[in-house]
Chains A and B, each alone.
Chain A
Amino acid sequence: MSFLQQKTLSGARVKHFKNTENCASVEIPLPKEVCISMSQHMGPPCKPTVAKGDSVKVGTLIGDSDAFLSAPIHSSVSGTVKDVTELVTSNGARTQVVIIETDGEQAVEEGIQPPVVSNHPEFVKAIRASGLVGLGGAGFPTHIKMNPKNLSEVDTLVVNAAECEPYITSDYRTIVERSQDILDGIEAIKKYVGISQVKIAVENNKPQAIELLRRLTAEDPSIEVCSLRSIYPKGAEKVTTYETTGRVIQEGMLPSDVGVIVENVTTTAFIGQYMRTGMPLVSKCLTVDGDAIAEPKNVIVPVGTHYADLVAFCGGYKKPPKKMLMGGPMMGIAVFDDAYPVLKNNNALLVFSAEKVYVSEEHACIRCGRCMSACPYQLMPRQIEVAAKNNDIEKLKKLKVMLCMECGCCSYVCPAKRNLTFSNKLAKQQLRAATAKK
């Protein structure tokens, strides 16, 4: 634990609101239809492999891609493909979706059986076939993480169970309900990727989770459960890596460049479960919370379930909804329509009424420096905002705006209520556009 004595990275003291931590996850009754997006991972979207009228079963491959950075997509229900169409996402992009009408049978695709794995390439292949992506939110295809270029140098697995976003408790429920899956997943990764030490990172606002994991891993000296101070964002990949191992992932590096693989705890649990059953990633546990939700719950849903069905299962809207978030309040994306479907990497659906929705005008910057002190990477959001406004590309480069992970701390702490995270985001695009021109 000596490394924890090192300077820890800063952040924002965000209130936790872990209202649903004691809500055991429940399965949603099968919806009438699901709408499965072809863009459920970081990277180019998949192409549908089914057409209108095809009948599918649970686990049937319905989308795949040749691109390196991609993961296949499977049907989460059994039924008939009603349509293959397009959907406008909240960032304005269009994405293909496969709409499947359920038949209520939930028949499982033939040939689904535990993968036969004896070495590293087979393991990577099996993980790719499972369609697994990072379930913490980013949706990075897991098989790519499991297959680093410098395989022999990778010695550490960081299991990220920090769950630093307010409201979300789905990872916590995974720890409590699926601890054996987590341990199996860790075992599999250790065995096939050649890992010698495992760090499980949990924020100290989840003492039961820490206690449970410490008890379960007490006999294994290679696994350490690290309790992190609950200052948002301890679950950000570079932050978690630094706080658990002391290793600094530099600009442009991947975690594997410092010998680390970072996996979300639910991703790890899925690996454990998949090695046992062979069932691809077709369902996801989501925290449904927010003041507009009548009965906040942790719900296990088939991928592609409409948010409206999820809300209906949680008692419907208690108050008129004003803002609907896919993910947590710090980094989550606001969606404009509750017909939007659940994606693999979703971990929460938060719905707030008008009284909980924060609206304020931006005021003049008073140069208090709070944005800078809250930034885990010590970036200077206000200076970036000014440089972007002046279109000063050299200054943007010097201020290292590309390091920004858009965690939201600067906007959160700003007393002048400036949307600094957003201006950072725009500055990154500005810099990208300027460098692309050359």
Chain B
Amino acid sequence: MATNVTENQAAVAEKLMITPSPHVKDSIDTKQIMLTVVAALIPAMLAAIYYFGFRTLIMTAVSAAACVVFEYLFNMVTKREQSIGDCSAIVTGVILAFNVPVTLPIWMLIFGDFIAIVVVKCLFGGIGCNFANPAATARIFLLVSFAGQMTHWIAPHSAIDSVATATPLSIIASGEGTLPSVMDMLLGNRGGSMGETCALALIIGGVFLIWKGIIYWQIPVSVIASVFVFALLFGENPVYAILSGGVMIGAFFMATDYSTSPVTGKGKIVFGIGIGFITMVIRTFCNYPEGMSFAILLMNILTPHIDSLTINKPFGAVFENKSKKEGA
């Protein structure tokens, strides 16, 4: 039964491959994660089409395509490895489109995509290296550049050229007009950016992502909870506070961006509370009726510091300056 070892050796030796362990890997990759996020945005897309018409679908598709094209061109011009295959540009494009009013001229949206992908993401090193959330920053850029168009809201089910309506936040800020009912707020039957109005659709998408293990619960829960608490403290209606503006899309889809949020569980909670606090400060005490994007951007800047202050304590680790025995 014994084989001639030396003969066999010659036959096999050249073909065997050596790699470090582990020798198996999970099938999940970056592309699959990004496409899952896109899938989670579908309920909000359907709600947007229902309330604001098919123009929302066209704008979203154009925005996603523009992001992919900008990333492709950037990589080509700078002779970098092509990275559009990871599909993260699609997510940025969709989220940015959801953050603008349906009436926004499409060229402005494409300009926003350029800012998001080229300036905020690619110039800082591409996926995983950008310190600021591309969609949130681009939205702020558009808001500052095109203040009129970016705040031209129309009522649901009305024509694109119809008269502007107020958003619940501007009603709260100015104290004029009637607020929609809580049910309308939940279902998204209100003025606002095209993908942010239907809280229910965003919650469904967000819970789906948590269930799939794509995002962790800490950021959305701490953002929503802290907006609620600070609204109470500042004397606002907390239910309207969490259902209005960009809280839901921000909490589930923008603040949870991997590149720009802390990685540790504790850090995520600190980050979420910071966003909730800054959002409510801007809404209550500043000129802007909405502060979600600003809050996300400001906390993005703090992320590296939050990360380095919330390093995990590994299982069984002993730190020299502490003499006491510690458990897990």
Contacts and interface: CB of A to CB of B under 8 A. Distances in A.
Chain B: interface size category: 35 or more
B21 A421 contact: yes
B33 A166 contact: no
Contacts of A329: 21-24
Task: Classify the secondary structure of A's interface with B.
Answer: loop
B288 to A, nearest CB: 29
Contact of A366 (B30, B317, B318): B30
Interface in A334-357: 334-339, 352, 357
A335 B318 contact: no
Contact of B258 (A30, A336, A369): A369
Interface stretch (B63-71, B125-133, B195-203, B223-231): B125-133
Interface string B209-248: 0000000100000000000000000000000000000000
Contact of B17 (A253, A322, A333): A322
A168 B256 CA distance: 39
A321 B312 contact: no
B30 A363 contact: yes
A380 interface: yes
Interface string A292-327: 000000000000001011001100000011111100
A248 B316 contact: yes
Contact of B22 (A7, A331, A375, A377): A331
B22 A412 contact: yes
B21 A312 contact: no
Interface string B2-33: 11011011001101111111111110111011
A319 B17 CA distance: 15
Given A336-B18, A377-B315, A403-B317, 11 more contacts: A238-B316, A252-B318, A308-B8, A313-B1, A321-B15, A322-B16, A332-B23, A360-B25, A378-B313, A414-B26, A415-B33
Contacts of B8: 308, 312, 338-339
Given A335-B16, A337-B16, A364-B129, A411 B33 contact: no
Interface in B16-69: 16-26, 28-30, 32-33
11 contacts: A28-B1, A248-B315, A248-B328, A312-B8, A338-B16, A357-B23, A369-B216, A372-B264, A383-B311, A412-B22, A415-B30
Interface string A384-416: 000000000000001110010010100111111
A389 to B, nearest CB: 14
A29 B263 CA distance: 55
Contacts of A306: 5
B259 interface: yes
Given A322-B16, A338-B9, A29 B312 contact: no
A50 interface: no
A412 B25 contact: yes
Interface of B: 1-3, 5-6, 8-9, 12-13, 15-26, 28-30, 32-33, 83, 86, 88, 126-129, 216, 258-259, 261, 263-264, 307, 311-318, 325-328
A90 interface: yes
Contact of B128 (A325, A331, A366): A366
A373 B215 CA distance: 12
Contacts of B12: 308, 321, 324, 337-338
B328 A366 contact: no
A308 B22 contact: no
Nearest to A6: B328
Most buried by A among B24, B127, B328: B24
A417 interface: yes
A151 interface: no
A386 to B, nearest CB: 11
B312 A380 contact: yes
A410 B324 CA distance: 30
A364 to B, nearest CB: 5
Contacts of B19: 323, 334
Contacts of B30: 363, 366, 415-416
Contact of A251 (B2, B23, B28, B316): B316
3 tightest Cβ-Cβ pairs between the two chains A and B:
A408-B22, A422-B20, A32-B2
B16 A323 contact: yes
